[in-house]
Amino acid sequence: MSASSNDKNQLVLGYWAIRGLVEPIRLALHYAKVPFTDKTYEQGEGPEFSREQWLSEKEKLGLDFPNLPYLIDGDLKMTQSKAILYYLGRKFNLLGKTPAEEAYVMMLCEEVFDVKIQISDFVYSPKGESKDERKQFVEKTFAGKLKRFEEYFGKRKGKFAVGDQPTVADFQLFDFLDSGFAVDDENTLIEKFPNTKQFLNTIRELPELSDYIAKAQAKFPINNKVAKFGGKVLERK
């Protein structure tokens, strides 16, 4: 179990020592330059894949609905990754400038979250272990989902997902779509989606995030150890 800071006045973000569902939240906090304690829990090695590090604390944190990820911000203690993302987006002006922009931000976050769940369902299933099955998933399921995002990125007026400034939608889209491309062993699918590739590069190259993204992707695996794919840090081409 580790934490990046012990300052009791800082936000505390708790999650497994992976990217998983929490990485967009980490990206938002780093972009906004908000100091926070990144409290991570390690899953044990197989075949047991113990969750004891988390379970030993789960009922001791004062959470109404104990789960990972969780956020502690002073007296506020909350769970659910999207609720946390929207709360921080509103608090740090990363949720759009108008009600219409906010609606689009949430729509995009929800849409790509559904894709992330499909990716997770696959990589945590026995099929995730097979290179042939991964190829089929990437070329059929993930590519099919990408078409809508490719069209959206192509018609947007600014370089960000919504409006002319980054929002939490950018961070959710970036990390969750990147986790899908990671399943592509041949690393060729992204070339078929140039608008999506450009968007990912835009976020990856943000001065506020470029160093963190490089370090985080080298430090955190996408999935937990029990997953059939992505349970270790991947060497990306």
Q: How far apart are the first and last CA of the chain?
A: 30
Phi, psi values for residue 190, rounded to 5°: -60, -25
Say which DSSP state 174 is in: H
How far, in Å, are 170, 200, 201 from residue 179 at the CA level? 14, 11, 14
184 and 131 within one domain: yes
Q: Residues 237, 194: contact at Cβ < 8 Å?
A: no
Asked, for residue 214, whether it belongs to a domain, the answer is: yes
196 and 109 within one domain: yes
**pLDDT tens figures, 195-219:** 999 999 999 999 999 999 998 888 8
Question: Domain containing 191: what range?
Answer: 99-219
pLDDT at 4 > cutoff 80: no
Extract the tokens encoding 62. Answer: 């004062």
Asked, for residue 225, whether it belongs to a domain, the answer is: no
Contact residues for 12 (Cβ-Cβ < 8 A; gap 6+): 3, 36, 37, 39, 70, 71, 72, 73
212 and 115 within one domain: yes
184 and 86 within one domain: no
Extract the tokens encoding 25. Answer: 């939240």
Amino acid (1-letter code) at residue 225: K
Residues of the chain with pLDDT > 90: what percent? 89
Q: Count of CB atoms within 10 A of residue 197's CB? A: 17
150 and 78 within one domain: no
Asked, for residue 3, whether it belongs to a domain, the answer is: no
The beta strand positions in 65-178, using DSSP E, are 70-73, 76-79
What is the distance between the alpha carbons of residues 67 and 90, in angstroms, rounded to a whole number?
22
201 and 135 within one domain: yes
Asked, for residue 230, whether it belongs to a domain, the answer is: no
**pLDDT tens figures, 117-159:** 999 999 999 999 999 999 999 999 999 999 999 999 999 888 8
153 and 130 within one domain: yes
76 and 105 within one domain: no
Asked, for residue 156, whether it belongs to a domain, the answer is: yes
Asked, for residue 36, whether it belongs to a domain, the answer is: yes
User: Following DSSP, what letter does each residue of 7-30 receive, concatenated?
Assistant: -TTSEEEEEESS-TTTHHHHHHHH
**pLDDT tens figures, 56-84:** 999 999 999 999 999 999 999 999 999 99
Which is it for the CA torsion 190, 192, 180, 14, positive or negative? Answer: positive
144 and 71 within one domain: no
The structure's pTM equals: 0.94
CATH code, 153: 1.20.1050.10
**pLDDT tens figures, 87-97:** 999 999 999 99
Instruction: Look at the chain and report how many structural domains it folds into.
Output: 2
Strand partners, 16: 41
**pLDDT tens figures, 89-122:** 999 999 999 999 999 999 999 999 999 999 999 9
Which is it for the CA torsion 32, 35, 36, 37, positive or negative? Answer: positive
Would you mind telling me the total number of residues written for the chain in this entry?
A: 237
175 and 77 within one domain: no
33 and 120 within one domain: no
Asked, for residue 112, whether it belongs to a domain, the answer is: yes
CATH code, 82: 1.20.1050.130
116 and 87 within one domain: no
Asked, for residue 171, whether it belongs to a domain, the answer is: yes
